[in-house]
Chain A
Amino acid sequence: MSAVPADLAAGELRDAIVARSLSARAAVDAAFVAADAVRADRDGLNLILSSDRADARRQAGDADDRATEASPPPLLGVPVVVKDNIATTTLTTSCGSRILEGYVSPYDATAVERLRAAGAVVVAKSNMDEFAMGSSTENSAFGPARNPVAPDYVPGGSSGGSAGCVAAGIVRIALGSETGGSVRQPAAFCGVVGVKPTYGRVSRYGLVAFASSLDQIGVFGRNVDDAALALEVIAGADPRDSTAAERLVPSYRQAARGALTGIVVGRPKEYFPEDLDPRIGALCDAAIDHLRELGAEVRDVSLPHSDLAVPTYYILAPAEASSNLARFDGARYGLRIEGDGLRGMYEATRSRGFGREVTRRILLGTYVLSAGYYDAYYRKAQQVRALIRRDFTNVFAQGVHLLFTPTTPTTAFKLGAKSDPYDMYLSDIFTCTANLAGLPAMSLPIGRAGGLPVGGQFLAAHFDERQMFVAAFALERALGAGAHR
Chain B
Amino acid sequence: MTPTLAGRYEMVVGLEVHVQLNTRTKAFCGCSTNFGAPPNANTCPVCLALPGALPVLNAHATELAVRAALALGCTVHTTSVFARKNYFYPDLPKGYQISQFDKPVATGGRVRIGTRADGSPIEIGVTRLHMEEDAGKSIHDRFAGVTAVDLNRAGVPLIEIVSEPDMRSAEEAGAYLRALRQILDYVRVSDLSMEEGSLRVDANVSARLRGEMALGTKTEIKNLNSFSFVERALDAEFARQCAVLERGGVVEQQTMLWDAGAGVVRPARTKEGSHDYRYFPEPDLPPLVLDREVIDAIERALPELPDARRARYRKLYSDLTDYDVGVLTAGVGLGDYFEHVARAHGDAKTAANWILGEVLAVLKTTGQTIDHFTVRPADLAALLDLVRDGTISRTAAKQVFGTMVKTGDPPASIAEREGLFKVTDDASLSTWIDEVCAEHPNEAERFRAGERRLQGVIVGYVMKKSGGRADPARLNQLLAGRTGGGT
Contacts and interface: CB of A to CB of B under 8 A. Distances in A.
Interface in B15-49: 45, 48-49
Contacts of B280: 319-320, 323, 369, 374, 378
A51 interface: no
B244 interface: no
A326 B54 contact: no
A332 interface: yes
B51 A208 contact: yes
A366 interface: yes
B45 A323 contact: no
B294 interface: no
Contact of B90 (A105, A331, A366): A331
Nearest to A88: B52
Nearest to B94: A327
B283 interface: yes
A365 B54 CA distance: 21
A206 B50 CA distance: 9
A240 B49 CA distance: 14
A242 B90 contact: no
B412 to A, nearest CB: 54
A106 B48 CA distance: 12
Nearest to A378: B280
A242 B53 CA distance: 12
Nearest to A345: B90
Interface string A304-338: 00000000000000011011011101011100000
A213 interface: yes
Nearest to A108: B52
What 5 A-B pairs have minimum CB-CB distances, sorted nearest first?
Answer: A326-B95, A212-B283, A213-B283, A369-B278, A206-B52
Contact of B95 (A95, A213, A323): A323
Contacts of A333: 50
Given A212-B284, A243-B286, A369-B280, A105 B95 contact: no
Contacts of A213: 283
B88 A242 contact: no
A105 B48 CA distance: 12
B278 A320 contact: no
Contacts of A325: 95
B449 interface: no
Nearest to B95: A326
B52 A109 contact: yes
B95 A370 contact: no
A121 interface: no
A207 interface: yes
Interface string B147-167: 101000000000000000000
B88 A205 contact: no
Contacts of B286: 242-243
Interface string B274-287: 00101110011110
Contacts of B51: 87, 93, 95, 100, 103, 105, 208, 327
A366 B45 contact: no
Contact of B88 (A86, A204, A329, A378): A329
15 contacts: A93-B51, A103-B51, A105-B52, A107-B45, A212-B283, A240-B54, A241-B54, A242-B56, A242-B285, A327-B95, A329-B88, A331-B90, A332-B48, A342-B90, A369-B280
Interface in B52-94: 52-57, 84, 86, 88, 90, 93-94
Nearest to B84: A323
Nearest to A326: B95
A378 B283 CA distance: 13
Nearest to A367: B278
Given A242-B55, A366-B278, A320 B50 contact: no
B354 interface: no
Given A242-B54, A242-B56, A366-B278, A326 B285 contact: no
A460 interface: no
A278 B45 CA distance: 50
Interface in A203-236: 204-209, 211-213
Given A241-B54, A371-B276, A327 B49 contact: yes
B96 interface: yes
Contact of A332 (B56, B84, B93, B276): B93
Contacts of B284: 209, 212, 242-243
The secondary structure that dominates the A interface is loop
Interface in A82-122: 85-87, 93, 95, 100, 103, 105-107, 109
Contact of A207 (B48, B52, B147, B278): B52
B361 to A, nearest CB: 50
A396 interface: no
Residue with the greatest number of chain B CB neighbours at <10 A, chosen from A87, A240, A366:
A240
A413 interface: no
Given A333-B50, A370-B276, 9 more contacts: A87-B51, A95-B51, A105-B50, A204-B54, A207-B52, A243-B54, A323-B95, A327-B51, A332-B93
Interface string A156-195: 0000000000000000000000000000000000000000
A425 interface: no
- Quick one: which of B84, B147, B149, B286 has the most chain A CB within 10 A? B84
A279 B276 CA distance: 50
A323 B90 contact: no
A213 B82 CA distance: 14
Contact of B45 (A100, A106, A207, A378): A106
A87 B57 contact: no
A272 interface: no
Contacts of B93: 327, 331-332
Contact of A242 (B45, B49, B57, B95): B57
A342 B88 CA distance: 10
B52 A93 contact: yes
Contacts of A241: 54, 56
Interface in A349-379: 366, 369-371, 374, 378
A239 interface: yes
Contacts of A366: 278
A95 to B, nearest CB: 7
A86 B95 CA distance: 21
A94 B96 CA distance: 22
A206 B88 CA distance: 23
Among B45, B49, B276, B278, residue most surrounded by chain A Cβ atoms (within 10 Å): B278
A105 B283 CA distance: 23
Given A242-B285, A331-B149, A326 B94 contact: yes
Nearest to A97: B51
A207 B57 CA distance: 19
A226 B312 CA distance: 72
Contacts of B55: 242
B140 to A, nearest CB: 11
A65 to B, nearest CB: 30
A370 B95 CA distance: 16
A86 B283 contact: no
Contacts of B279: 369
Contacts of B88: 326, 329, 346
A87 B54 contact: no
Given A107-B45, A319-B280, A326 B96 contact: yes
Among A106, A205, A331, residue most surrounded by chain B Cβ atoms (within 10 Å): A331
Contacts of A105: 50-52
Given A326-B88, A329-B88, A205 B54 contact: yes
Contact of B56 (A109, A240, A369): A240
B160 to A, nearest CB: 20
Interface in B105-154: 147, 149
Q: Considering residues A103, A241, A323, which has the most beta carbons from chain B within 10 angstroms of its beta carbon?
A: A323
Contacts of B53: 205-206
Contacts of A326: 86, 88, 94-96
B371 to A, nearest CB: 34
Nearest to B48: A332
A205 to B, nearest CB: 5
A320 B95 CA distance: 12
A215 to B, nearest CB: 9
